[in-house]
Amino acid sequence: MSMLQVENLSIHYGMIEAVHDVSFEVAEGEVVSLIGANGAGKTSILRTISGLVRPSQGRILFQGQEIHKQPAQTIVASGLSQVPEGRHVFPGLTVMENLEMGAFLKKDREENARNLKKIFERFPRLEERKGQDAATLSGGEQQMLAMGRALMSTPKLLLLDEPSMGLAPIFINEIFEIIKDIQAQGTTVLLIEQNANKALAISNRGYVLENGKIVLAGTGQELLTSEEVRKAYLGG
């Protein structure tokens, strides 16, 4: 069953076309990766799914309902949450306050408390630093905080934009293990990631974007072993 359907999506910034006639889907329970070079249109697609950018053509369906004309807060409330590129934690707020911001649309205090407990179990360092200014965390800890903040809204679909960017290798491995665990716990994941090797290794399926168009699609394993993908993105 498709959780997300993107149909004939085009995105413009003024006269510049960033994405051209892109179609793909994400089935419930999958990890799906969008890979491609900088400027390929990956982040534009995620921002459009989240309601932060309006498409110039096409439509987006989430659980069978059109969302491409809805405001971002309505999309979040429907069960879709994004972890942005660069993490964007709120400086001047503590780790705990950042997590609470992720639940601002949730009025069920008991559910929020359960979610917070799960996040501290998944990210014990956040509990250790819950009273610390988020801006003083390491890059890896900020990424964990950004992911925890998104999970506080109990999303059915989690959008991850470059979660390993700028992280030390030890944190990169940990982040991908966490993504696998998030999927195992029942959350569907759409992943944008420059580290194509790591992304495809944990993905059920993937799509390759070049110059705003999808040029290849397949299972994660098929794309990992594709000579074209290996030469372009895997250092083969």
Q: What is the mean pLDDT of each run of 10 residues along the chain (236 residues)?
A: 95 96 97 92 96 96 96 93 90 95 83 91 94 94 94 95 88 91 95 91 96 95 86 63
Provide the CATH number for the domain formed by 2-87+155-233 in this structure: 3.40.50.300
Residue 1 has what pLDDT?
Answer: 75
Contact 117, 123 (CB under 8 A): no
Residue 106 has what pLDDT?
Answer: 74
Contact 217, 24 (CB under 8 A): yes
Residue 108 has what pLDDT?
Answer: 81
Residue 214 has what pLDDT?
Answer: 96
Closest listed residue to residue 141, CA positions, set 108, 166, 111, 116: 166
Read off the pTM: 0.91
Residue 234 has what pLDDT?
Answer: 61
Contact 65, 72 (CB under 8 A): no
Bridge partners for 22 per DSSP: 9
Residue 235 has what pLDDT?
Answer: 57
Task: Measure the CA–CA gap between 48 and 69, rounded to whole angstroms.
Answer: 10
